[in-house]
Amino acid sequence: MRSGGEVVRGDDGDRVEVRRSAKRRRTVSAYRDGERVVVLIPDGFTAAEEREWVSRMVARVDRAAGDARGDDAELTRRAVELSTRYLDGRARPARVRWVAPMRSRWASCTPDDRTIRMSRRLLAMPGWVQDYVLLHELAHLIEPGHGPRFWALLAAYPRTERARGFLDGVSAAAQRPLADQR
């Protein structure tokens, strides 16, 4: 494997881009970006550690994409759990489902029919980011806009700001506009 943002072939023939960061100390993450998998690793990793983690993370991204296709029941279960934990159970979606990647959104909510759609692009992201996006959409079932009352609903989730920063970073890396809704 090469590093430094170069696109290389993984063990299974996938295109893999490895990005090293001096700011990263221990964490490794990965996500699918079109036809390639982007793996983010600490700059201090050895070549052997890089190979091991790239292989592991590509498998995780592929597994996440495969496991969640059509697993709307698990997503609905998670929505109920998040609503109960952070919104006192007030958000009651009629339907929650995974959908094909959206062009400019991570998810969407239609308060009139109480449906939530989550972009499959989220599948390659950490669970706490997925939870934030799902909780964000659940909050729209209570408060449709992005005013102070809406943001107050999300204040209970401890990783709100971190998740927003993560999503902004992914958007910036993909050269997509940032969704600053505050």
The answer for residues whose C-beta is within 8 angstroms of residue 144's C-beta and 6 or more apart is 111, 150
Q: How does pLDDT run across 108-125, given as a tens digit for each residue?
A: 999 989 999 999 889 889
The pLDDT of residue 63 is 65
Tokens of 139: 């909050």
Specify the CATH number for the domain of residue 77.
Answer: 3.30.2010.10
The pLDDT of residue 26 is 84
Is residue 23 in a domain?
yes
- Regarding whether 59 and 105 lie in a shared domain, the answer is no
Taking 80 as the threshold, does the pLDDT of residue 177 lie above it? no
- Regarding whether 98 and 57 lie in a shared domain, the answer is no
φ, ψ dihedrals at 140, nearest 5°: -65, -20
Number of domains in the chain: 2
Confidence band for 172, pLDDT divided at 50, 70 and 90: confident
Is residue 120 in a domain?
yes
From 19, 43, 66, give the residue that closes a domain.
66
Is residue 165 in a domain?
yes
The Cα 1–Cα 41 span in angstroms is 13
- Regarding whether 53 and 137 lie in a shared domain, the answer is no
| Residues 108 and 96 sit within 8 Å (Cβ to Cβ) | no
- Regarding whether 82 and 62 lie in a shared domain, the answer is no
Mean pLDDT of 46-75: 77
- Regarding whether 107 and 92 lie in a shared domain, the answer is yes
The pLDDT of residue 179 is 56
Taking 50 as the threshold, does the pLDDT of residue 42 lie above it? yes
Give 55 or 134, the one with higher predicted confidence.
134
- Regarding whether 85 and 155 lie in a shared domain, the answer is yes
Is residue 132 in a domain?
yes
- Regarding whether 144 and 161 lie in a shared domain, the answer is yes
Q: Which residues span the domain enclosing 132?
A: 72-173
Amino acid at 75: L
- Regarding whether 122 and 158 lie in a shared domain, the answer is yes
- Regarding whether 88 and 52 lie in a shared domain, the answer is no
Q: How does pLDDT run across 88-98, given as a tens digit for each residue?
A: 999 999 999 98
Percent of residues, the chain, with pLDDT higher than 90: 52
Mean pLDDT of 8-12: 49
- Regarding whether 47 and 108 lie in a shared domain, the answer is no
- Regarding whether 41 and 86 lie in a shared domain, the answer is no
Give 75 or 13, the one with higher predicted confidence.
75
Is residue 143 in a domain?
yes
- Regarding whether 163 and 94 lie in a shared domain, the answer is yes
